[in-house]
Amino acid sequence: MVRIEEGFLNIHGLRIYFKLYNVGSRIDLVVLHGGPGASHDYLIPLAELSNYGINVLFYDQFGSGRSDEPSDFSRYTVDYGIEEAEEIRKQVFNDKVVMLGHSYGGMLALAYALKYQDNLVGLIISNGLSSIPLTVQEMRRLIEELPERYRNAIKKYEQIQDYQNPEYLEAVQYFYKQHVTRLDELPEPVKVSFEYAQKRRTYAIMNGPNEFTITGTIKDFDITDQLHKIRVPTLIITGKYDEVTPRIAELMSSKIRDSRLVLFEKSSHMPMWEEKDKYLAVVRDFIFELYNKNK
């Protein structure tokens, strides 16, 4: 039986929202959302893993979703996110866990593993990245493949930093439709997460005005040359049309010795919605394999 627990944890003086799908097993999954600034809601399909005996913990990171935001600007870093994740792991499970990070959360999970991999059973990097500069470079390549109208609008208004111009915003949305989620209608949980990202200041502080214009505190973050230090089994997930392109996933997989790469042929950045059943099966089977190996 699944017991849903939710509320706030005191993490380094901030109220951090969490939601735990607790089945009382010894298989624990901690989920790190993207953004930053968004909420965990769009990753809610992963809650279904609790039906298979996996405890699933979601939380809204600092300055994201329903959680408090730091008043100290110096906290808006990946390093702070690492320590937040570790404190949450200790407070909720105090045991080794599987960590799944999506998008920016995947980068955060990789950084966490470099410092705290002894606390991990395994790692799942879903549509994630290890280098912001490389990811921007790849997204710029995707922009060059857009129809001329949208490509020119992006270049024109970025030159004058008019990120709110209707023509620019239309081009951004077209890019998102190709490379973030290709669904005809956004599911409500995805809308909720996007709304949080727009109204919380964390996305602008850490990321920037949009997915491919990264001007915030993470703009130079790159840990690719350290990935060889990760020893835990790692599953890397990417979508054929992903804004964080398969090239990035392939590079990460080549650096992490005990890793496997799964490409979702019909997905962009959100295979947990675009190919939900396959996504959940891939994640579930990987987690079961980890725990069976560690029996």
CATH number, residue 245: 3.40.50.1820
Task: Say if residue 36 is preceded by a cis peptide, omega within 30 of 0.
Answer: yes
Percent of the chain with pLDDT over 70: 99
Active site residue 220: no
Residues 154-169, buried b or exposed e (16+ Cβ, 10 A)? beebbeeeeeeeeebe
Residue 294 predicted with pLDDT over 90:
no
The residue from 39, 50, 67, 103 that is catalytic is 103
Cα separation, 57 vs 38, in Å, equals: 16
Please tell me the predicted confidence (pLDDT) of residue 89.
Answer: 98
Q: What is the mean pLDDT of residues 157-178?
A: 93
Q: What is the mean pLDDT of residues 240-261?
A: 98
Active site residue 242: yes
**Residue carrying the six token digits 């939380």:** 59
Number of domains in the chain: 1
Residue 279: give the domain boundaries: 3-293
The residue from 28, 60, 68, 242 that is catalytic is 242
Kindly report whether the global pTM for this prediction surpasses the value 0.85: yes
Q: What is the mean pLDDT of residues 193-199?
A: 95
Residue 209 predicted with pLDDT over 90:
no
The angle that helices 166-179 and 148-159 make with each other, rounded to 10 degrees, is: 130
pLDDT tens string 214-238:
999 999 999 999 999 999 999 999 9
Q: What is the mean pLDDT of residues 115-131?
A: 98
Please tell me the predicted confidence (pLDDT) of residue 53.
Answer: 97
Residue 295 predicted with pLDDT over 70:
no
Residue 41 predicted with pLDDT over 80:
yes
Active site residue 269: yes
Please tell me the predicted confidence (pLDDT) of residue 69.
Answer: 95
